[in-house]
Structure 1
């Protein structure tokens, strides 16, 4: 079975997670949607990954879904997002993904996130400073959730049969 992991990332976290997931799936292919537009017809399983920024998925991911929604509805699909606020994951999913795609996806996971301090533009630095302050006040850590990556890999392997 051919597996596509199509993702878009602003600061490389989503890409890192795509590669971690691909390492657990023999023959999986990762494609950065900001650089290439794969044809999901060529795959048996399609995993869609995106970062969340200001409540929205990456525009390249949104475009991929809009351009291919009919094909995706006929494929085995899984979705992951990378974000710093996992308690808001349902809100992010409902806001960004077609409900029919969410309903048919066999695995939906939040892979967590991480702070990357460079290279940001001035506006991004100000936002990151506020977010870091909030995380310190809440005594929270921001990290990639490897258990969720393992869970999705297991889900994919089970659905390949």
Structure 2
């Protein structure tokens, strides 16, 4: 199995999850951070995984653009979609549903909300101030779920 794992990250959470997913997948895996690399074609991959994180209520533009531009190709691949966010329950599910096109969510073999992180060391002053005010958090915190990552990997591998 040849897998392409495409992600975009702002403060490292989506990348951290991508690297954990990569470790658990069978076969050849190529990681592509769309913020740093341009992806021209991916027709030779059997499986495509797309992941990103929520900032100001939305997934990164590079991920939404990638999904829209490649909608038809993604719909014929084995597909995994994951999202990093600090919300839980219905609100997290709503963010997931808004982050990816409905067609892709319905087609996906595996979907997951991995949890999220506030990494104060990687945030600028303004971002830290906003998080302190809105989320009432004044230090780095991680809610990434190893169980969600493991379940996602298992669905992709089967």
Please report the TM-score for the alignment, with normalisation by the length of structure 2: 0.89
Q: Any unmatched runs of 5+ in structure 1?
A: none
Task: Return the alpha-carbon distance in structure 2 between the equivalents of residues 40 and 154 of structure 1.
Answer: 23
Secondary structure of the residue that 1:28 maps to in structure 2? strand
Look up the match of 1:54. 56
Question: How much does 1:132 deviate?
Answer: 4.5
Question: Measured at CA, do residues 119 and 154 of structure 1 come closer, stay the same or move farther in structure 2, by a change above 3 Å?
Answer: closer
Are 1:29 and 2:52 counterparts? Answer: no
Question: How much does 1:96 deviate?
Answer: 2.2
Task: Return the alpha-carbon distance in structure 2 between the equivalents of residues 40 and 101 of structure 1.
Answer: 16
Instruction: Identify the structure with the greater helix proportion.
Output: 1
Question: How much does 1:30 deviate?
Answer: 1.1
Deviations 1:119-157 (CA, angstroms, capped at 9, x unpaired): 423321211212452699xxxx74210111100110011
Over 4 Å off, 4+ runs: none
Instruction: Identify the structure with the greater strand proportion.
Output: 2
Look up the match of 1:97. 100
Deviations 1:63-116 (CA, angstroms, capped at 9, x unpaired): 111211110011111100001112222211222211111111111101111220
Task: Give the RMSD, CA atoms, in angstroms.
Answer: 1.8
Worse overlay, 7-16 or 25-34 = 25-34
- Aligned length, in residue pairs: 154
Task: Return the alpha-carbon distance in structure 1 between the equivalents of residues 119 and 138 of structure 2.
Answer: 14
Secondary structure of the residue that 1:112 maps to in structure 2? coil
Look up the match of 1:18. 18
Task: Return the alpha-carbon distance in structure 2 between the equivalents of residues 11 and 19 of structure 1.
Answer: 14
Look up the match of 2:82. 80
Look up the match of 1:144. 144
Aligned 8 A contact 1:40 1:72 in 2? no
Task: Return the alpha-carbon distance in structure 1 between the equivalents of residues 110 and 36 of structure 2.
Answer: 25
